[in-house]
């Protein structure tokens, strides 16, 4: 199967005064469609830079980043904006919800940018909020919800357009341990059910265990690439 993401000879060098800091050092990587991949590393390992390259938020010094046949590294800002709107979902550590909008409006926002009619986008947003367990909170604004509830709204917003690729940047960084488990089970279950590619960036080894594949970055290089076997849930016995 053709990989959905292809990275070739990717290098990123920052200049800080007279010094050169190599954030990514000639990375080659393929990620398959439907794969749940975790980019794991400590602060300064290059994981955030790699995510920024994948999302088209930064330009590489050298190399290519191809997603669904589009070379993100060479696309114009207008092309990138359209590509993100149509093909990418984002889950953020700090939720990034608009405080003036309620849960329904926040989730429907990506569909508004796609010019989806109001009734259709509200139905889609309600369906996603139900899927993340927030049917009773659709009229609540962010300041009326807990951190876990806000992140569920963020998850619903990322998935509402049914994008082929979803990026999750430290998605549980602001959550307690119980809510972390709930959120990770939720975002991975939705991705697997829809066969979407999910890229998780984290420093937390326990979060990485939810992925199918763990890439450990060190000093801008892929130090290890590990496949994770998840136990199959046995079928329920007939009553």
Per-residue pLDDT tens over the stretch 70-99:
999 889 999 999 999 999 999 998 999 999
| Contact call for residues 14 and 25 (beta carbons, < 8 A) | no
Domain ranges of the chain: 33-58+76-227
Rounded Cα distance between 190 and 209, Å, is 16
Rounded Cα distance between 146 and 183, Å, is 13
User: Which parts of the chain sit beneath pLDDT 70?
Assistant: 1, 231-239
Radius of gyration, alpha carbons of the chain: 18
Q: What pLDDT score does 150 carry?
A: 95
| Contact call for residues 207 and 184 (beta carbons, < 8 A) | yes
Q: What pLDDT score does 61 carry?
A: 95
Per DSSP (E only), the strands in 72-190 are 88-92, 165-169
Q: What pLDDT score does 238 carry?
A: 43
Read off the tokens for 122.
Answer: 């509200």
What CATH number should be reported for the domain whose range is 33-58+76-227?
Answer: 3.40.50.300
Rounded Cα distance between 214 and 222, Å, is 10
Read off the tokens for 29.
Answer: 């990587």
Tokens 């990026």 sit at which residue? 167
Rounded Cα distance between 16 and 14, Å, is 6
Q: What pLDDT score does 1 carry?
A: 66
- The pTM of the full predicted model, rounded to 2 decimals, is 0.91
């Amino acid at each position: 199967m053709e990989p959905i993401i292809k990275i070739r000879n990717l290098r990123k060098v920052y200049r800080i005064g007279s010094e050169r800091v190599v954030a990514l050092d000639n990375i080659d990587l393929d990620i398959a469609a439907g794969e749940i991949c975790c980019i794991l590393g400590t602060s300064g390992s290059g994981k955030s830079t790699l995510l920024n390259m994948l999302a088209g938020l930064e330009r590489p010094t050298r190399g290519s980043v191809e997603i669904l046949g589009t070379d993100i590294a060479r696309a114009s800002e207008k092309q990138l904006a359209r590509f993100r709107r149509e093909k990418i979902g984002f889950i953020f550590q700090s939720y990034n919800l608009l405080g003036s909008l309620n849960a329904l409006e926040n989730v429907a926002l990506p569909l508004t940018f796609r010019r989806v009619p109001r009734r259709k986008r509200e139905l889609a947003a309600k369906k996603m909020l139900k899927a993340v367990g927030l049917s009773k909170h659709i009229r609540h604004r962010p300041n009326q919800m807990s951190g876990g509830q806000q992140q569920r709204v963020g998850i619903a917003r990322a998935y509402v357009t049914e994008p082929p690729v979803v990026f999750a940047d430290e998605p549980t960084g602001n959550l307690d341990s119980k809510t972390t488990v709930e959120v990770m089970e939720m975002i991975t279950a939705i991705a697997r059910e829809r066969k979407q590619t999910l890229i998780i960036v984290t420093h937390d080894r326990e979060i990485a265990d939810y992925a199918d594949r763990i890439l450990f970055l060190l000093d801008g290089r892929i130090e290890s690439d590990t496949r994770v076997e998840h136990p199959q849930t046995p079928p329920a016995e007939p009553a």
